[in-house]
Structure 1
């Protein structure tokens, strides 16, 4: 009887531990005197597995890690595909809403105005998580929505030694210093022609943060030169649903892929409306989580 009870207790404790590891865990690190927080999601097979990829998923301006986890549904994809995802939080503003933003250069709000060093935060966060969890440091990727996508572009410029590839959504590149990536960075960009918050053709959007958004054509021109892409932009698909443009024959076999959907708006494709009940409707013709994971798996740091 004791043996049976002991076995049951052992089974229960292992099961509880496994369940605990596959649920979000809140954590924090201190950067430049600020306590920076994040939510980490481990896949159910974490105990048995090893050599995990890490996806850094950055929320849009005014959002937070928990909200982005819910609206993007990226943790469900992480569980199915067996990778680790972390949702870091931007710094809180001093306004009434305490909106959390990223300093991506020319955007956004409190983080930009107070020159918060978010590149340092993400760099130290990577070091912290790689030391604590079974993460392959060559398989670290960044994605983000809106202001979070802008931050992904800044990471590609300034942290290309730690970020293997990026997948921004509904964003543009707003760096204010020359982009000095030390290597070619694979880029998957997703956008909607109906996105009025960050217009794909450039200009000031309808969002709360009234800043100029460089047109995406100029962003891809910069990166196609940096990545030394021998083949110019080629339209692979152009139908009633979306347009897919690719830059290939780039340095170190990298590519740039640009999905421009005809449906949706300023929202995460395949997610919930803009992360808010009254937000833009997400694109239904592509799924951001499927696309980014298929893309990320093709690349790792040398």
Structure 2
């Protein structure tokens, strides 16, 4: 009776070793990057998810939603703003969703962010619903903390981040908007305080900081109009306090807000309609600000909440 048991034990160990060797040859390195397609409102919507190096050793990790500008894409957003490298260093997951492509010659991607922009607005694409479904999909399949989901974006993507905070505040912890103000058709009716970080250049002519006509003939509200709205929604007791104002930038904060949902606003004196601290990637693009680094400010801000 002992020999069959001994033989079975040796056989089991051998098979286990063989399977491990075979698995290694096939390649079972952990996967940190996923390209996904989901169906939302009858449309195939796409996004790319990047997981940080410590993902498989941890749980309840934070997630950043990075929203490209009008005419951009998730791939462009990742490449131009170097966000994945920063997210990996900070142990954040980061996702790059794509706006819908227009049916025009250039097939440009935009977001319906309220009163902007172009094809997505004209076709009344429900991008808030798309992002909401995407969040649910990621929370269901990956080890993400639902209380640490943040949104950031450039221009049209920044405007959408404000709309997300207004319409699905239960799924968004904080937002960081770059070169795009809140621009809604209707009143913002957020049901909870949301911390806001806004970065803009006084030299931005594509989306003027004080409002008015900008890129593609679109009309934008002033940045401070949206921030003042949020100061009321966040029940801030200290309104528009200038912390610093020098030759580099003006820093304004709304403090003593409910649930510590502070509002921080950097207005740079250099740069333009661009991502601060990034490199100029196209000849026709505005020069990025060099006095602040968006990635550092954004992730430091998110880590507070």
What do you get for the CA RMSD once the two structures are aligned? 1.9
Distance 1:6 1:118 in 2: 45
* Aligned 1:257-296 pairs, distance under 5 A: 257-273=264-280, 276-296=282-302
Distance 1:277 1:102 in 2: 24
Larger Rg: 2
Show the counterpart of 2:229. Answer: 222
Distance 2:21 2:248 in 1: 53
The one of 282, 301, 304 aligned to 1:298: 304
The one of 182, 188, 203 aligned to 2:197: 188
* Aligned 1:87-236 pairs, distance under 5 A: 87-205=96-214, 207-208=215-216, 210-236=217-243
How far is the alpha carbon of 1:231 from its aligned partner? Answer: 0.7
> How has the CA–CA distance of structure 1 residues 244 and 32 changed in structure 2, closer, same or farther, with 3 Å as cutoff?
same
> How has the CA–CA distance of structure 1 residues 233 and 28 changed in structure 2, closer, same or farther, with 3 Å as cutoff?
same
TM-score normalized with structure 2 length: 0.91
1:17 partner SS = coil
Structure 1, unaligned stretches of length 5 or more? none
- Segments ≥4 residues shifted beyond 3 Å: 2-14
* Aligned: 1:252 with 2:259: yes
TM-score normalized with structure 1 length: 0.92
Distance 2:183 2:231 in 1: 17
The one of 244, 248, 253 aligned to 1:241: 248
Distance 1:264 1:90 in 2: 26
- What CA deviation, in whole Å up to 9, does each residue of 1:9-37 have, x standing for no partner? 777777x623x41xx42111100100000
Higher relative contact order (CA 8 A, sep 6+): 1
Distance 1:83 1:253 in 2: 22
Show the counterpart of 1:45. Answer: 54
2:291 partner SS = coil
Distance 1:136 1:233 in 2: 32
How far is the alpha carbon of 1:194 from its aligned partner? Answer: 1.0
Give the total of aligned pairs. 291
2:29 partner SS = helix
Structure 2, unaligned stretches of length 5 or more? 1-13
